[in-house]
Chains A and B, each alone.
Chain A
Amino acid sequence: MVRDARKGALLTMRGNIEHDRTSMNHDTYSDDYIRGILNSVKVIAMVGASPVDARPSYFAFKYLVQRGYDMIPVNPGHVGKTLLGRPFVASLGDIGRPFDMIDIFRSSAHIMPVVDEALTTAPLPKVIWMQLGARDDAAAAKAEAAGIKVVMNRCPKIEYGRLSSEISWMGVNSRTISAKRAPIPTQGMRLSLNRTSLGGAATTAADRAAKNKTESS
């Protein structure tokens, strides 16, 4: 009751930001969903990882290494080289050990073959994550049918920084609050992601942003 009344009040104040949903909605994700993934995966294969230090994939790879994830760079164009000391492999099949998550740094048009390949690996990964700007709903449905969790059009670095509030150094709205004293972050340390969330991984304007994007293309 209390919660309903509060929701009513907030809806007038902030617009339609809360989506009660039963099926997976890939426009917005709850913080719990993202937090659950980032807290449980350990080994991440990054498909499309680039050794060029101005590329977003390089940023994300380095950040996730620093936060203690076991990162594997996957890119057939760079086999024989290493990324921050980790050897590139040509494909998921060449990894040769189990991995928990695939982070795909490819555009939407190149997602499906990666998902198809992922579905042939054993054991299956627990999560397939597509980078900011990348989304393929058919590929997502296929992966979900195999019991794999999917995140699309998000960056794990940004989400980790947001949920830990580390990203707040950059003036970013973490959309979380906490009255607890946080530990001092040090190199390679995993940060607590268990802050109080303010209504999921979306802002009021997120739906409009998504709409702007589809309408313009």
Chain B
Amino acid sequence: MTDRLPGFSTLAVHAGAQPDPTTGARATPIYQTTSFVFNDADHAASLFGLQAFGNIYTRIGNPTNAVLEERVAALEGGTAALVVASGHAAQVVVLQQLLKPGDEFIAARKLYGGSINQFTHAFKSFGWNVVWADTDDIGSFERAVTPHTKAIFTESIANPGGTVTDIEAIAAVARKAGVPLIVDNTLATPYLIRPIDHGADIVVHSLTKFLGGHGNSIGGVIVDAGTFDWSRDNKYPMLSEPRPEYHGIKIHETFGNFAFAIACRVLGLRDLGPALSPFNAFMILTGIETLPLRMQKHCDNAKAVAEYLAGHPAVASVNYAGLEGDKYHSVARKYCPKGAGAVFTFSLKGGFDAGVKLVSNLKLFSHLANVGDTRSLVIHPASTTHSQLDDAAKVKAGAGPDIVRLSIGIEDKEDLIADLEQALA
């Protein structure tokens, strides 16, 4: 008997889950408990010493969360994953394993505004120095590499601009520099793009968006591709050196190709503390079961709405890689042939004021600061998500004053177009 490979939709439903051993419950139970009873003193010691697989305390791991971890790892083609309380927490935990004070990481300039803030201000206070590069100029990544560089960070489809990243080109720079490539795959989801297949070593997500998909739970995840050799040199001591808090264990030597995920759990999550609630894990797991269905509908609707807007006289431009003629159309056809995602921006000939008016006229689109909901959403980034950036940085991040961002839901596309029609009239 040869091993058979189930497809993506089968994994979206089954990976990580099985009927509960105790009760036979078929849906994954919500293990809403802080702690887990040990069999005996030796079992407890084995668990604390990382010698046995099992549960101790929900800050470190939880059976409901573990199902979600394995599910996302399977969908992304990684060796292991760790869920945390938010997408932002995932980014902190990842970089904590890689950077010491005084180290640098290179990040694409076109990122979610919250990530730009986190990198510029919060991480600076930890002594982790971000160096910005431009996705449209791969040479800018290469030029940014120094002996202090410890990682490269990019989004697969960038929020809010609808930029699709040439992951393979950036992966080549990371490989040459001997540092891991971290890809935030939030806006694409593994249904559209699997960054590990294109050379990413670590994938992070805000589960809050399309993976959870229903706008009801905040969460984040870190996926280990199992591809990076952490012991090649002494650049990554969290993984390659004996850890005093675990009696001198070397994490990479002990856990092999899922060592990064383990380091994030036992050194990051354990000590920094951003644990995901098992209830949120359950909600997100339920969301993921329909990811392939939802994501296709999101993309198909987004393309129809983008095409409609591109033909509207009040619209100056539409930035959606799914449109023929878009700057990123050929990259999108290579990386995400099923669709270019459902978050994009457009600019109005009437500028800032027209944007504000549009947002207030819309009846079906909700005005709020999120993306990746079943419901269609609208926001004016310059006055909200990206408001902390100065004007030049706003433009560079794809969030200039005339820009409106849409996150297209799974309603009937005719109703979305009709709502835009009346709001633009």
A residues apposed to B, CB below 8 Å:
3, 6-7, 9-10, 13-15, 17-18, 30-32, 53-54, 56, 58-59, 62-63, 66, 132-133, 155, 158, 161, 165-175, 177-187, 196-200, 203-206, 208-209, 212-213, 216-217
In contact, A198 and B6 (Cβ under 8 angstroms): yes
Contact of A200 among B3, B83, B256 (CB under 8 A): B3
Which of A17, A132, A209 gathers the greatest number of chain B CB atoms within 10 Å?
Answer: A209
Rounded to whole Å, the gap between the CB of B230 and the closest CB of chain A is 11
Question: Contact mask B1-28 → A, CB, 8 Å, 1/0?
Answer: 1111111101100111011111010000
Q: Which residues of A contact B53 (CB under 8 A)?
A: 161, 166-167, 169-170
In contact, B253 and A133 (Cβ under 8 angstroms): yes
Contact of B21 among A58, A155, A184 (CB under 8 A): A184
Contact of B5 among A10, A66, A173, A179 (CB under 8 A): A10
Contact of A205 among B39, B49, B55, B227 (CB under 8 A): B227
Interface magnitude class on chain B? 35 or more
16 A–B contacts from the bound complex (CB under 8 Å): A13-B7, A14-B197, A17-B5, A30-B2, A132-B253, A171-B81, A172-B70, A172-B79, A173-B74, A173-B79, A173-B258, A177-B15, A179-B14, A187-B39, A199-B3, A205-B77
In contact, B80 and A173 (Cβ under 8 angstroms): yes
| Bound: A173/B79 CA distance, A | 5
Indicate whether A196 sits within 8 Å of B4 (C-beta atoms), given known contacts A132-B256, A169-B61: yes
Rounded to whole Å, the gap between the CB of B119 and the closest CB of chain A is 25
Q: Which residue of chain A lies nearest to B5 when distances are taken between CB atoms in the complex? A: A199
Stretch at the interface among B104-112, B140-148, B242-250: B242-250
B343 within 8 A of A: no
B residues apposed to A, CB below 8 Å:
1-8, 10-11, 14-16, 18-22, 24, 39-40, 43, 46, 49-55, 61, 63, 65-67, 69-70, 73-74, 77-83, 175, 178, 194, 196-197, 199, 225-229, 232, 242, 246-249, 253-258, 261-262, 265
In contact, B43 and A169 (Cβ under 8 angstroms): no
Which of A165, A167, A175 gathers the greatest number of chain B CB atoms within 10 Å?
Answer: A175
Rounded to whole Å, the gap between the CB of B233 and the closest CB of chain A is 9
In contact, B54 and A169 (Cβ under 8 angstroms): yes
In contact, A177 and B77 (Cβ under 8 angstroms): no
